[in-house]
Chain A
């Protein structure tokens, strides 16, 4: 297109470095606060534990790995303006699926089965998303119902705790010895390979747009149905990783409704604490990861202080309420144009 000479002279480039810095500070304030909170909790723990080091970090990262993946699953759905109460149940299901498949398998076969598990989980996500978009039944009800179904299927596959996985496969997730970095790598790789490109693509932006303002998204040409189903499919992928890492961590599978429900609620807590607005459209994946670690360190730290673990839960609840309260106040002040 040819455009005639502008009416006014070209203005200086608008993005000056300090503007960019201020914006980064404002947009990522929540994540920054979580980094500080995590650092405080870690330093506190290091003063409590004799010869604190790699072992403690390994415990933290490996034991929370399934919950981190679940939090990511929930985050994607919440960003799209929905909620998924079946993430815990899917984790349990794919824990049982992979655990029963991989028993006595070699590394190559185990990896193949891992891929099968991921494909199945994404199919489950597509199915959930399809039911939600087609039926018009609120997602909270659909996913509550599917959560019972998934745990039922898991019980059918594995009526009692059983299964297993080859050690070589387990080490991919939990590392051998006290190396904590394999667990971090397990989180980083899917984020870099799947989420980062998605976030920049039109499909990923559609997911954000759908949660932010469905009307504006419609006017912008977003296919709401496809965006929602994609969100549930990506969530399915992360629940598969949660199931696989549970198999690796526990070296087997267990179909338990209690485990499923506790995990689902833990994921919701991490999403909220991670700065993802339940109204949709706001937040990233880094916040919920940090939130999972913070939430797991709080009772651990209190335990080393000699506080009863049940009080630890109280403190955890209070922290969630305070952080979210403070955050929403900040956000209200910040978003005023």
Chain B
């Protein structure tokens, strides 16, 4: 090989968080004067690799070399000094300081930023406080700051995710110009069409390994999706890109009409029938958190309506949702479990407002209800005194079992099987099906696409705050869902 040394050379980098392996052995090389895409499904290890490259995390093993020199970063400043300037998904600007003060804080020369601000067409008063500016502007400011450090490699993590299209065009123009100067860009994006448009090469991560690096001109989106899926890829039907009209047998238990909420949920309508498990899948940051939190009453909707049995749900407190029968099993069970309290207290929590008689909690009724839930869920009761001693799977059973004790109509489960063992996962699948058979409804977000055909009746796909596809769970294999999640146009794979 007579090529010049690569600008960035990552070899066998691994990182674990306790027992969870985020990166097994990642390899990546970025040439000078190249726009390189880093791709992968949720949990493939992209964000961990980005954090390692930008000095936020230290790898457990492996080597990183910049222009042939091995480097080790223990903080983000060292990465910038070595010539890697990142723009993170959440802008790294201190909220209560002015933009100018933020530049001073990072030692950014304001004279060096100014040409980039005008280049990016940013009309911003630098004396304005950061938390008074919109997110898109902050990301652009973060980019201008990174450019002002004149790095060899610009690291853009989901740079275009929150940007209006005119900003996106400016970003692309600057990226191309950067490449023409012989500098490089590592571009992380969920938008495969953008990757095709602007990137020279792409590296795909799967399960913490780099599985494919190729020129984007050779292969296209199908090759990327294939690499994300691995050998599991199967060539079956494609999703319908246009939305089908929602046809539900029987009256809708839960109905959403043009719901918009938070920063990301734009316009969502769907219905969940009695006895149905409706799956929701999406890439990260498409409004799925806003959807679940709004339904659970934890945040107010910006517009649109939520109806239970045809009657609108009002208010912005979880108690009001719970009274209408909507209960949430949150993504992080640490938010739901009372770690110091016993299994019984954890399960009986929703009862304390209903089984009191003259202020006293009926011990007999409580015991009976709790015992029933423990039996149904097969909770391991050897460590009954404090929930924190239970395994993650058993803790998750408590957060679900609480609502079996308390009663509900619609259960919102956000990634209910994240980080728990296979046996418990299957118990939870069985339980959810059983609940549906008893006429209750479940809305389940999952990041494990394999779960969809196992648990759900139907599945809707969320993309940039809107539903882009809806299909029967039986047709929802991983490839179909992955295509829909990236909002790729429906066409035959070669």
Contacts known (A7-B173, A337-B132, A337-B134); A220 close to B94, Cβ less than 8 A: yes
Contacts known (A11-B118, A219-B92); A19 close to B125, Cβ less than 8 A: yes
Within the assembled complex, what's the spacing in Å between the Cα atoms of A281 and B95? 9
Q: Is the pair A335, B131 in contact by a Cβ cutoff of 8 Å? A: yes
Q: Is the pair A205, B105 in contact by a Cβ cutoff of 8 Å? A: yes
Residues of A within 8 A of B (CB): 1, 3-4, 6-8, 10-11, 14-15, 19-20, 23, 27, 200, 202, 205-206, 208-209, 211-213, 216-222, 281-282, 335, 337
Residues of B within 8 A of A337 (CB): 131-135
Residues of B within 8 A of A209 (CB): 94, 97, 105
Q: How far is the CB of A210 from chain B (nearest CB, A)?
A: 9
B window 69-97: CB within 8 A of A: 75-77, 80, 88, 91-97
B window 82-140: CB within 8 A of A: 88, 91-97, 101-102, 104-107, 112, 115-116, 118-119, 121, 123-129, 131-135
Interface size on B, residues (CB 8 A): 41
Contacts known (A15-B127, A19-B125, A27-B129); A4 close to B94, Cβ less than 8 A: no
Q: How far is the CB of A1 from chain B (nearest CB, A)?
A: 6
Q: Is the pair B75, A6 in contact by a Cβ cutoff of 8 Å? A: no
Q: How far is the CB of A278 from chain B (nearest CB, A)?
A: 13
Residues of A within 8 A of B127 (CB): 15, 20, 23
Residues of A within 8 A of B116 (CB): 3
Q: Is the pair B104, A216 in contact by a Cβ cutoff of 8 Å? A: no
A79's nearest neighbour on chain B, judged by CB, is B96
Residue of B92, B132, B150, B170 near A216 (CB, 8 A) is B92
Residues of B within 8 A of A205 (CB): 94, 97, 101, 104-105
Contacts known (A23-B128, A205-B105); A217 close to B121, Cβ less than 8 A: no
Residues of A within 8 A of B106 (CB): 220-221
B177 at the interface (CB under 8 A from A): yes
A217's nearest neighbour on chain B, judged by CB, is B94
Q: Is the pair A216, B96 in contact by a Cβ cutoff of 8 Å? A: no
Within the assembled complex, what's the spacing in Å between the Cα atoms of A217 and B106? 9
Residue of B94, B119, B131, B150 near A208 (CB, 8 A) is B94
Q: How far is the CB of B173 from chain A (nearest CB, A)?
A: 6
Within the assembled complex, what's the spacing in Å between the Cα atoms of A240 and B385? 51
Residues of B within 8 A of A14 (CB): 123-126
Contacts known (A11-B118, A11-B123); A220 close to B173, Cβ less than 8 A: no
B386 at the interface (CB under 8 A from A): no
Contacts known (A1-B115, A205-B104); A219 close to B128, Cβ less than 8 A: no
Residues of A within 8 A of B134 (CB): 337
Contacts known (A1-B150, A221-B75, A337-B131); A7 close to B119, Cβ less than 8 A: yes
